[in-house]
């Protein structure tokens, strides 16, 4: 038994096994990209449509919003435009060869798969700064890839894929900065520049960005003092090579400049970093934007006697935690405008990970303050709490305003999931002395999540109407569904 356990750990820790993990993600996502029709579940029409618009506009700043964009809400002052602008460039090039929309969508889907795969590489490097155990890091990343949501997200045109990649990079650079023996201004400049751009890819990065910068400042201040901090910064900057200094400075100027243009101007003009659509364009025009219309109608809708107005705790228990968690195990598609199909997930992966998560949380609590105060654990907890709290506040405000739990998205928390899972695994490793029990828990997590998770969820639970209407695609997916369905429930 001991020999097999050591062999298992060696395989898990090998670089080749990590390549297998990335390959598994790519295989699943490519399968879905070539199978599922456009648009896919999470606003793919929005992201592809705006990429098409920017493909005809070299300037990312929109001074006047044409009515053709009203379908996408407030575009002119949207603080989440940079992904669409970046995607417009490969779309411009590909459009030279074909105007076929299906081909263009699949082409951009492949780019998004590469982004998610790159995110796995970046997170691996960052997580190896938290622990030296490659086996533990690879186990966590395998579980992330086996979540049904991961392949579905990677397979579609969606800004979350770029956000996943950039978060992994910024987190890795943050660890490089805080773990360095001397002040390395290059990491700081890279974090500020790329972090600013990541914030206008999706402004949910702002709480992560603020938490990381705040933690880095406190870390450096404790180490060098306020006066010494600026001396160290200037001294390190002067030691940079000419071109390195120029490129990093340019990155910071562009990133901070674009972020200031969007967040600063929005705050001054509208007193919000993400102004309501009707404050930028008229309410009549905003009714073309489905989320705005839904919130407006539900907010004005009279409530029935059975309607329950929960407070913060009730909202969190009845809606927020449930909706966040269950999305990691679901599949679905957008059949038509404002019409979605999302079947119930398989029970085995859902309950298996819940069990393992409860064990990990119990071990984390038992590990105690000495474990919690480890520099790397502390940093991950700070950024995770910042993001989760910011999302909760937005979701609860929307619930309080409309009376309905709208747009609670588990995928928004994906950038903190790998690190939190790793901390849980580290807590289990530290708290449970028996190697046998730890290996059993790892096996339960992998087998339970694989039993109906990953690509299997999407193949077995999908319908023919979800697919590209290509006979080969329909026949292959139907044949696999027929073979697999009896084994999963």
How far lies 107's CA from each of 30, 39, 283, 481, in Å?
A: 11, 14, 35, 26
The token pair that represents 138 in the structure block: 């690879």
Residue 25: predicted pLDDT: 96
Torsion of CA 351, 354, 358, 363, to 10 degrees: 110
Instruction: Tell me the C-alpha distance between 213 and 207, whole Å.
Output: 10
Q: How many domains does the chain have?
A: 1
Per-residue pLDDT of 307-340, as tens digits, reads 677 888 989 988 999 999 999 999 988 776 667 7
SS3 assignment, position 10 = helix
Question: Residues 371-400: what's their mean pLDDT?
Answer: 91
Task: Report the b/e string of 361-392 with b at 16+ CB within 10 A.
Answer: eebbeebeeebeebebbebbbbbbebbbebbb
Instruction: Tell me the C-alpha distance between 183 and 235, whole Å.
Output: 9
Highest mean pLDDT among 158-162, 231-235, 429-433, 467-471: 158-162
Which residues fall within 8 angstroms of residue 133, CB to CB, at 6 or more apart? 13, 429
Please determine, for residue 415, whether its predicted confidence score (pLDDT) is greater than 90. yes
The token pair that represents 461 in the structure block: 């639970």
Q: Tell whether 311 is covered by a domain.
A: no
Q: Tell whether 306 is covered by a domain.
A: no
Q: Tell whether 317 is covered by a domain.
A: no
The residue segments making up the domain with residue 270 are 2-297+325-487
Which phi and psi angles does 392 have, rounded to 5°?
-60, -45
Per-residue pLDDT of 71-103, as tens digits, reads 888 888 899 999 999 999 999 999 989 989 999
Residue 307: predicted pLDDT: 66
Model confidence band, residue 426 (pLDDT cutoffs 50, 70, 90):
very high
Per-residue pLDDT of 245-265, as tens digits, reads 899 999 999 999 999 999 999
Beta partners for residue 336, in sequence order: 339
The token pair that represents 103 in the structure block: 């081909």
Please determine, for residue 435, whether its predicted confidence score (pLDDT) is greater than 80. yes
Please determine, for residue 301, whether its predicted confidence score (pLDDT) is greater than 80. no
Whether the Cβ atoms of residue 415 and residue 198 lie closer than 8 Å to each other: no
DSSP secondary-structure letter at 358?
A: H
Which residues fall within 8 angstroms of residue 183, CB to CB, at 6 or more apart? 220, 224, 229, 232, 233, 235, 236
Which residues fall within 8 angstroms of residue 28, CB to CB, at 6 or more apart? 145, 150, 151, 154, 155, 454, 455
Q: Is omega for the bond preceding 39 within 30 degrees of 0, making it cis?
A: yes
DSSP E strands, 362-483: none
Q: Tell whether 315 is covered by a domain.
A: no
Q: Tell whether 302 is covered by a domain.
A: no
Task: Tally Cβ neighbours within 10 Å of residue 294.
Answer: 15
Report the predicted TM-score, pTM, of the whole model to 2 decimal places: 0.92
Among 25, 36, 24, which Cα is nearest to 105's?
36
Residue 303: predicted pLDDT: 65
Among 431, 410, 416, 446, which Cα is nearest to 359's?
431
Instruction: Tell me the C-alpha distance between 203 and 207, whole Å.
Output: 8
Residue 228: predicted pLDDT: 79
Residue 306: predicted pLDDT: 59
Helix (H) or strand (E) holding 335: strand 333-336
Task: Report the b/e string of 397-418 with b at 16+ CB within 10 A.
Answer: ebbeebbbbbebebbbbbbbbb
Helix (H) or strand (E) holding 35: helix 15-35
DSSP E strands, 30-114: none
Instruction: Tell me the C-alpha distance between 153 and 145, whole Å.
Output: 11
Phi-psi region of 65 (alpha: psi -120 to 50; beta: other; left: phi over 0): beta
Per-residue pLDDT of 151-209, as tens digits, reads 999 999 999 999 999 999 999 999 999 888 888 889 999 999 999 999 999 999 999 99
- Mean pLDDT lowest among 21-35, 378-392, 428-442: 428-442
Beta partners for residue 333, in sequence order: 341
Beta partners for residue 340, in sequence order: 334
Task: Report the b/e string of 248-278 with b at 16+ CB within 10 A.
Answer: beebbeebbebbeebbeebeeeeeebbbebb
Q: Tell whether 319 is covered by a domain.
A: no
Instruction: Tell me the C-alpha distance between 191 and 198, whole Å.
Output: 10
Instruction: Tell me the C-alpha distance between 445 and 146, whole Å.
Output: 10
Residue 356: predicted pLDDT: 92
Q: Tell whether 407 is covered by a domain.
A: yes
Instruction: Tell me the C-alpha distance between 289 and 264, whole Å.
Output: 25
Q: Tell whether 320 is covered by a domain.
A: no
Per-residue pLDDT of 9-54, as tens digits, reads 888 889 999 999 999 999 999 999 999 999 988 889 999 999 999 9
């Amino acid at each position: 038994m001991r020999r097999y356990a050591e062999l298992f750990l060696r395989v898990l820790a090998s670089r080749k096994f990590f390549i297998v993990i990335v390959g598994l993600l790519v295989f699943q996502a490519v399968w879905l990209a070539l199978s599922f029709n456009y648009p896919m579940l999470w606003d793919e029409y929005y992201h592809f449509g705006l990429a098409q618009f920017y493909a005809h506009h070299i300037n990312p700043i929109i001074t006047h919003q044409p009515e053709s964009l009203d379908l996408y809400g407030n575009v002119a002052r949207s603080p989440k435009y940079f992904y669409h602008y970046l995607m417009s460039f490969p779309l411009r090039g590909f459009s030279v060869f074909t105007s076929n929309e299906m081909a263009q969508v699949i082409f951009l889907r492949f780019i998004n798969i590469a982004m998610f795969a790159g995110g796995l590489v970046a997170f691996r490097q960052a997580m190896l700064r938290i622990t030296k155990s490659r086996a533990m890091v690879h186990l966590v990343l395998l579980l992330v890839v086996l979540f049904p949501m991961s392949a579905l997200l990677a397979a579609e045109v969606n800004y979350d894929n770029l956000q996943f990649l950039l978060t992994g990079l910024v987190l890795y650079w943050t660890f490089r900065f805080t773990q360095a023996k001397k002040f390395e201004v290059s990491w700081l400049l890279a974090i500020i520049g790329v972090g600013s751009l990541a914030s206008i890819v999706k402004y949910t990065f702002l709480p992560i960005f603020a938490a990381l910068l705040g933690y880095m400042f406190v870390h450096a201040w404790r180490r060098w003092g306020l006066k010494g901090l600026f001396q160290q910064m200037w001294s390190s900057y002067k030691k940079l090579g000419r071109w390195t200094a120029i490129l990093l400075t340019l990155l910071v100027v562009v990133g901070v400049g674009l972020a200031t243009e969007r967040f600063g101007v929005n705050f001054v003009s509208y007193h919000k970093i993400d102004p309501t659509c009707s404050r930028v364009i008229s309410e009549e025009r905003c009714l073309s934007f489905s989320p705005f219309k839904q919130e407006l109608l539900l907010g004005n809708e009279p409530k029935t006697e059975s309607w329950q107005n929960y407070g913060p705790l009730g909202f969190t228990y009845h809606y927020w935690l449930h909706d966040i968690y269950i999305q990691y195990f679901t599949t679905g598609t957008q059949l038509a405008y404002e019409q979605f199909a999302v079947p119930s997930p398989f029970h085995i992966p859902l309950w298996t990970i819940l069990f393992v998560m409860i064990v990990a949380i119990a071990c984390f609590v038992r590990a105690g303050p000495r474990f919690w105060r480890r520099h790397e654990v502390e940093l991950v907890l700070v950024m995770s709490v910042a993001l989760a709290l910011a999302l909760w506040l937005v979701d609860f405000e929307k619930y309080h305003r409309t009376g309905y739990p709208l747009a609670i998205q588990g995928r928004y928390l994906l950038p903190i999931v790998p690190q939190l899972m790793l901390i849980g695994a580290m807590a289990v490793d530290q708290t449970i002395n028996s190697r046998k029990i730890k290996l059993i828990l790892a096996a339960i997590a992998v087998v339970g999540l694989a039993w109906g998770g990953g690509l299997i969820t999407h193949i077995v639970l999908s319908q023919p109407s979800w697919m590209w209407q290509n006979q080969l695609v329909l026949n292959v997916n139907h044949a696999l569904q027929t073979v697999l369905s009896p084994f999963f429930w």
